[in-house]
């Protein structure tokens, strides 16, 4: 006869306790019984709203980027693409000046919200809602970038005011719930309010006076971390997480060069010169990636003024990367011309030179530091790249880009050789700026 199995009747309320008792009798330990509504491990259900807390105060200094932070970074792709596109359209000296001026508020917006999240992110519903609202405002700010270039700047100012207002509200929330951080959050909220007042008042003035008030507001925003270093000692950042966040944002910006390669090649109908220029442009971006993410990647910034210097060295670094992406676009577009335009040469050569200088400066602010030989060769490479931008007026675009690529490949090979055997987490004994903070 076929043995009939009893019908499944589910788990009764008494069975978990019986299983726990049997485990205890066998010499094991039973999981703790949680309150009603908790899971089997006794964890309480996750609340919708949790007040901010200083994450590093509870030993949460080895965290990694959250899914929300990654999502937040992606919205800046729009801003980066818009800035690069405007530089492609106008790569005159005035165009470069407008590009730099508009990149600063984009960077300040990202850095302010990222720094807050590093210290106080509890990933509750209210924090998520604020960050998602900020993402929507950032998207609105990004699409206003072409309007600023064409004399319609009010929308950009309104978007920036809303974005900084959200940052103020988040800091006031932390001020209420995190007593040890009150000096820091009070200072930031007050300083951001001064900047917001400048941007709001600018709406009452025509251009170019409106831009003067923007500059004053940005100067206030950029000065705040330097003036608030003493309070940072009581509310430390998660240094490793900060290094990771800047690395991830660098990847986002580098992606603009890859987009330029793909779109530029598609629009050029795969002409041989354009296809060659696209391949060289991709390799240039790959070299810049290699230099950033080889030795020293993830090395945490040192505390105090050095940590602020690490963050602010990324301002020209990331701006230069956006310029290189625009330069790659121009390289592909002008591949069949007799020579590369002056703006294209400076976007590629000058952008790569500024990138190397800013990267070296940023690494000097980390615990690992930079090998003296590597720092010296980067300075030489930056000087040669700038000289190429000046002297390469008569070179064909692909030839110009090929020489630039050769310089970067030589730098990458040198750094690989010098950094072999150096652990990524600790500072070499002979590095500049490395070692523990005294």
Joined tokens for residue 31: 């999981």
Residue with tokens 């165009």, as numbered in its chain: 95
The domain ranges of the chain are: 62-236, 239-438
- For residues 108 and 241, the model is more confident at 108
Say yes or no to pLDDT of 18 above 70. no
Compute the distance between CA of residue 169 and CA of residue 126 in angstroms, rounded to an integer: 11
Give the model confidence (pLDDT) of 276-321 as tens digits: 999 999 999 999 999 999 876 677 888 889 999 999 999 999 999 9
Q: What is the pTM of this model?
A: 0.84
Reported as a single tens digit per residue, the pLDDT across 337-375 is 889 999 999 999 999 999 999 999 999 998 888 889 999
pLDDT at 134 (0 to 100): 95
Angle between helices 93-120 and 239-267 (to 10 degrees): 140
**What ranges in 237-334 are assigned the alpha helix state H?**
239-267, 272-293, 305-333
145 touches 86 (CB < 8 A): yes
- Low-confidence winner among 81-90, 116-125, 374-383 (lowest mean pLDDT): 116-125
Tokens found for residue 96: 């470069």
Rounded Cα distance, 158 and 12, in Å:
60
pLDDT at residue number 259: 82
Residues 128 and 140: their CA atoms lie apart, in Å, by: 18
Q: What is the pLDDT of residues 120-158, one digit of tens each?
A: 988 889 999 999 999 999 999 999 999 998 889 999 999
- Residue 218: closest CA among 202, 237, 242: 202
Q: How many residues are there in the chain?
A: 438
Contacts of range 398-404, beta carbons closer than 8 Å, 24 or more positions apart: 398/273, 398/276, 398/277, 398/280, 398/331, 398/335, 400/331, 400/339, 400/340, 400/345, 400/348, 400/349, 401/277, 401/280, 401/281, 401/284, 401/331, 401/340, 401/348, 402/280, 404/284, 404/348, 404/349, 404/352
> CA-based diameter of the chain, in Å?
96
Beta bridge mates, 370: 432
419 vs 116: CA distance, rounded Å? 34
């Amino acid at each position: 006869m076929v043995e009939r199995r009893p019908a499944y009747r589910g788990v009764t309320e008494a069975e978990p306790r019986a299983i726990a008792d049997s485990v205890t009798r066998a010499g094991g330990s039973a999981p703790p019984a949680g309150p009603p509504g908790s899971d089997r491990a006794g964890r309480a259900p996750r609340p919708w709203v949790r007040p901010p807390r200083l994450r590093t105060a509870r030993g949460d200094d080895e965290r990694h980027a959250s899914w929300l932070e990654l999502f937040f970074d992606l919205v800046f792709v729009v801003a980066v693409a818009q800035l690069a596109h405007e530089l492609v359209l106008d790569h005159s000296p005035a165009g470069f000046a407008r590009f730099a001026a508009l990149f600063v508020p984009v960077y300040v917006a990202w850095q302010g919200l990222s720094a807050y999240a590093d210290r106080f992110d509890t990933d509750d519903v209210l924090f998520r809602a604020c960050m998602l609202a900020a993402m929507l405002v950032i998207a609105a700010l990004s699409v206003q970038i072409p309007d600023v270039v064409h004399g319609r700047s009010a929308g950009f100012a309104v978007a920036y005011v809303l974005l900084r207002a959200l940052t103020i509200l988040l800091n006031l929330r932390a001020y209420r719930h995190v007593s040890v951080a009150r000096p820091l959050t009070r200072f930031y909220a007050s300083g951001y309010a001064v900047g917001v007042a400048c941007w709001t008042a600018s709406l009452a003035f025509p251009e170019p006076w409106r831009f003067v008030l923007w500059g004053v507001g940005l100067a206030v925003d950029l000065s705040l971390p330097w003036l608030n270093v003493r309070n940072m000692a009581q509310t430390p950042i998660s240094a490793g997480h900060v290094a990771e966040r800047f690395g991830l944002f660098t990847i986002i910006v580098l992606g603009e060069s890859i987009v330029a390669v793909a779109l530029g090649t598609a629009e050029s109908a795969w002409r041989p010169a354009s296809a060659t220029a696209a391949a060289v442009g991709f390799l240039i971006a790959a070299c810049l990636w290699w230099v950033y993410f080889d030795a020293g990647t993830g090395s945490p910034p040192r505390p105090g003024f050095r940590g602020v210097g690490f963050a602010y060295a990324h301002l020209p670094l990331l701006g230069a990367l956006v310029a290189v992406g625009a330069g790659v676009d121009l390289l592909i577009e002008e591949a069949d011309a007799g020579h590369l335009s002056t703006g294209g040469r400076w976007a590629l050569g000058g952008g790569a030179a500024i990138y190397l200088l800013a990267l070296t400066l940023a690494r000097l602010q980390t615990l690992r530091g930079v090998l003296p030989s590597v720092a010296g060769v980067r300075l030489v490479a930056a000087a040669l790249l700038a000289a190429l931008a000046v002297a390469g007026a008569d070179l064909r675009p692909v030839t110009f880009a090929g020489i630039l690529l050769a310089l970067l490949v030589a730098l990458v090979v040198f750094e690989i050789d010098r950094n072999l055997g150096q652990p990524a987490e600790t500072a070499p004994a002979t590095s500049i700026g490395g070692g523990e903070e005294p």
